């Protein structure tokens, strides 16, 4: 049964933005990893979570659409000039509202990045957990940051308040231990690129004032924080690998082959 039956919403809709013209690693969602296109690993993980009423791939490329048709995945074609994955999710939500008229303002739309082949069902369960509280409008997930990545600008860090709401996301080391007195006791948290939004917040996103922080850090979630929209952050045990380079591709492939040899417990 979809998770939406236990949440105060009508439906939970997953959207996988799958843009083919990525800059650092062209065609990455179609690149083969451990015998499958990367996108297939992402869609499989989302489907296995058992939380979605609908799961839709959003793409601007015929090649991705052909893969979706061959695999029997629902997909929608979106414009190639959308500036972010969130804008692509918004485009899908708007189309569903126009075509079906059954999308409610408090439905949850999940942005599932197409370059995260190591996602597990647990990531989706954690992402949706905060929505059991009526005041939650946006959520994301985080995990303990490996020591070697604390200073890595390609790894996004997040700090949260006592209620689990994000204070800030950054590519820099946050918090910064100025005097070196932390002694290893300061927790560093790595942000994982999953987001869930109630539809009425998702509808606001494209019209929000442009964010200087978003532009500087190249992190679209900062537009929400800078405009006073809280993001609830849920911790998870398992890390992922966002694939942006050939090295990331090799790392993800090795980990997936290892996982295939040692299947997850039911």
Average pLDDT over residues 125-143: 95
Q: Would you identify the CATH topology of the domain 7-261?
A: Spore Coat Polysaccharide Biosynthesis Protein SpsA; Chain A (3.90.550)
Angle at 251 between CA 245 and CA 257, to 5 degrees: 135
pLDDT reported for residue 121: 94
Q: Has this prediction a pTM greater than 0.95?
A: no
**Residues 143 and 237 sit within 8 Å (Cβ to Cβ):** yes
Domain boundaries, the chain: 7-261
pLDDT higher than threshold 50 for residue 1: no
Average pLDDT over residues 17-35: 86
pLDDT higher than threshold 50 for residue 7: no
């Amino acid at each position: 049964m979809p998770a939406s039956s236990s949440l105060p919403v009508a439906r939970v809709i997953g959207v996988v933005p799958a843009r083919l013209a990525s800059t650092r690693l062209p065609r990455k969602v179609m690149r083969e990893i451990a015998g499958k296109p990367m996108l297939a690993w992402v869609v499989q993980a989302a489907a296995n979570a058992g939380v979605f009423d609908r799961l839709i791939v959003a793409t601007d490329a015929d090649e991705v659409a052909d893969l979706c048709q061959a695999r029997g995945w629902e997909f929608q074609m979106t414009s190639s000039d959308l500036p972010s994955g969130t804008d692509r999710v918004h485009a899908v939500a708007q189309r569903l509202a126009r075509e079906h008229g059954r999308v409610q303002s408090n439905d949850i739309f999940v942005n599932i990045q197409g370059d995260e082949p190591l996602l597990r069902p647990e990531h989706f369960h954690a992402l949706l957990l905060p929505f059991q509280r009526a005041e939650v409008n946006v959520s994301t997930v985080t995990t303990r940051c490996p020591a070697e990545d604390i200073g890595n600008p390609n790894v996004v860090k997040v700090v949260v308040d006592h209620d689990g709401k994000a204070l800030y996301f950054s590519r820099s080391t946050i918090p910064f231990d100025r005097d070196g007195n932390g002694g290893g006791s300061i927790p560093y948290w790595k942000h994982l690129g999953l987001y869930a939004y109630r539809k009425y917040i998702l509808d606001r996103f494209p019209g929000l004032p442009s964010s200087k922080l978003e532009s500087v850090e190249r992190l679209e979630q900062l537009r929400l924080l800078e405009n006073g929209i809280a993001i609830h952050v849920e911790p998870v045990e398992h890390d992922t690998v966002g694939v942006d380079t050939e090295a990331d591709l090799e790392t993800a492939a090795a980990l997936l082959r290892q996982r295939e040899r040692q299947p997850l417990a039911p």
